[in-house]
């Protein structure tokens, strides 16, 4: 099994007991993140020689997309956009933790977040893909990744 902690001290994907990866991604107010821009960005990327497939995701009981899904072959990651009152409350609470990846005022004012989940990966074959996905979110949109399972920020 691959280690959750890389040699460069950056946190990396560690599957949950059910074989799925899960993190939240706080979206700073200065980010230009939108579902449309995310779809365009991820749809322009390749994994090896294969272009990633990105599509809008419609949640249960919803009429319009509330997230997006990115396919790495037949395995996928879905990110659900949340922007209700509880997101800001949770961000303020997370801003009180140690080792923040950004200034307190940036973390505490995040009013949007992505709840990121993967398909099952019982053989740990897709750790690199999950890490690549979260790295893209951070590099392109400046999101702040928090791992609820380990209770740690990814930096």
Q: What is the pLDDT of residues 9-23, one digit of tens each?
A: 344 566 555 689 999
Residue ranges making up the domain that contains 47: 22-149
Q: What is the pLDDT of residues 40-57, one digit of tens each?
A: 999 999 999 999 999 999
With beta carbons less than 8 A apart as the criterion, state whether 87 and 80 touch.
no
Whether 3 maps to a domain, the answer reads no
In this predicted structure, what is the pLDDT of residue 8? 32
Whether 15 maps to a domain, the answer reads no
Whether 114 maps to a domain, the answer reads yes
Percent of the chain whose predicted confidence (pLDDT) is above 70:
88
Q: What is the DSSP string of 106-154?
A: HHHT--EEEEEEE---TT-TTHHHHHHHHHHHHHHH--EEEETTTTEE-
Whether 41 maps to a domain, the answer reads yes
Whether 1 maps to a domain, the answer reads no
Whether 16 maps to a domain, the answer reads no
Model confidence, pTM: 0.88
Whether 55 maps to a domain, the answer reads yes
Count up the domains in the chain and report the number.
1
Whether 32 maps to a domain, the answer reads yes
């Amino acid at each position: 099994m691959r280690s959750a902690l890389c040699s460069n001290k950056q946190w990396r994907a560690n599957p949950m007991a059910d074989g799925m990866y899960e993190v939240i991604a706080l979206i700073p107010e200065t980010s230009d993140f939108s579902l449309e821009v995310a779809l365009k960005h991820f749809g322009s990327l390749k994994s090896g020689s294969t272009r990633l497939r990105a599509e809008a995701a419609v949640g249960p009981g919803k009429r319009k997309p509330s997230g997006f899904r990115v396919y790495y072959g037949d395995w996928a990651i879905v990110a659900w956009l949340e922007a209700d009152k509880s997101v800001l409350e949770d961000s303020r609470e997370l801003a009180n933790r140690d080792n923040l990846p950004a200034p307190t005022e940036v973390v505490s004012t995040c009013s949007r977040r992505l709840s990121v989940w993967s398909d099952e990966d019982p053989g740990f074959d897709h750790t690199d893909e999950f890490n690549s996905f979260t790295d893209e979110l951070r590099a392109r949109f400046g999101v702040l990744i928090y791992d609820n399972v380990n209770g740690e920020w990814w930096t």
